[in-house]
Structure 1
Amino acid sequence: MKIDDSILSLCLFFTSNRFSRYMTKIAEDAFAETNLSPSYIYLLIVVYQYPGITQKKLCDKLSIAPSTSTRFINKLEKLNLVYRRSEWKETHIHLSEKGVELCEKMDECFDELHKRYASILGEEKSNELAKILYESSEIIKKEKF
């Protein structure tokens, strides 16, 4: 197979991963003051929005594997940002007081993140791309593979 740039630019797998790497760098910069990776921040924000969320629902909302959520929650527990509470057969995740305080300070970081990528892509293109990616992810999520 002859490889040229078209195999890269026309491949959704490659281009989405390439884009993701760039966005990860931008997000890491925007959330640098928290000393947490963006993935941990998004987990905290979901728990903030859904106090007592089950680990299963958390995994679903973040599209992560249970083992990944366990690893994230373990780290956030060690940092005293979340705690688990077992109720019957389910584990519920709650923010600690320190976790709530951190989440309440996140608006500036989210504003910075949005400002950074919107200044590069433009406001309209950023919103359009986010919508297309979200809708496409939802379609793929429905497939059983």
Structure 2
Amino acid sequence: MLDNYFKGCLYFSANRLSRLITKMAEEEFSPTGLSPTYAFILMAVYEKEGISQKELAEIVHLHQSTITRLIEKLVGKGFLTNQTSGRTSLFFSTDKGKQLQDIIETCWGNLHKRYAEILGQEKGDALTLELYETSDLLEDHLKS
């Protein structure tokens, strides 16, 4: 009976999935020496050099205060640098940060392969899209 409550609860199921996929992601990204979140931030900056903190927060769907803390660590470790333009900080990859891009992309690909082997390629891709679209709907509703 209790199991049915949990199976029917989006909150419980989403958190369970989050814990499982986070464990997999941390294992796959371990060769970088970074958490998956740090790696995704580096990828975003690498793809869009000169990105603002606000735009970066929107892309990775994190609060600005969280992005501030994460970026400060990446700057401190020498992976990113920032330039101030008026009141806006713009972020750029350093050579040290750029050297990680190939391994980050490999880790991301390995993560995708790993869950696709378990779920199947189509189901994994469909679930990913469904979760992203559902998150967008919930986020839009919470903003209004």
Same fold (TM over 0.5): yes
Q: Report what 2:90 is aligned to.
A: 92
SS at match of 1:64: coil
| Candidates 114, 117, 128, aligned match of 1:116 | 114
CA deviation vs aligned residue, 1:95-120 (integer Å, no higher than 9, x gap): 11111111133222112111111111
| Candidates 134, 138, 141, aligned match of 1:140 | 138
Aligned mates of 2:45, 2:139 — CA distance in 1: 22
| Candidates 101, 123, 126, aligned match of 1:125 | 123
Q: Which 5+ residue runs of structure 2 have no aligned equivalent? A: none
| Candidates 87, 103, 106, aligned match of 1:105 | 103
| Candidates 16, 19, 28, aligned match of 1:18 | 16
Q: Which 5+ residue runs of structure 1 have no aligned equivalent? A: none
Aligned mates of 1:88, 1:107 — CA distance in 2: 33
Q: Report what 2:3 is aligned to.
A: 5
User: Which amino acid in structure 2 is aligned with residue 5 of structure 1?
Assistant: D
Aligned mates of 2:97, 2:91 — CA distance in 1: 12
Aligned residues: 143
User: Which amino acid in structure 1 is aligned with residue 82 of structure 2?
Assistant: R
User: Which amino acid in structure 2 is aligned with residue 44 of structure 1?
Assistant: L
SS at match of 2:108: helix
- Seq. identity, %: 38
SS at match of 1:39: helix
| Candidates 29, 37, 40, aligned match of 1:39 | 37
Cα offset for 1:133? 0.7
Kept in 1, the 8 Å contact 2:75–2:81? The answer is yes
User: Which amino acid in structure 2 is aligned with residue 112 of structure 1?
Assistant: N
User: Which amino acid in structure 2 is aligned with residue 116 of structure 1?
Assistant: R
TM-score normalised per structure 2:
0.94
- Let me know the Cα RMSD of the aligned residues: 1.2
User: Which amino acid in structure 2 is aligned with residue 78 of structure 1?
Assistant: G
User: Which amino acid in structure 1 is aligned with residue 7 of structure 2?
Assistant: S
User: Which amino acid in structure 2 is aligned with residue 139 of structure 1?
Assistant: L
Cα offset for 1:29? 0.8
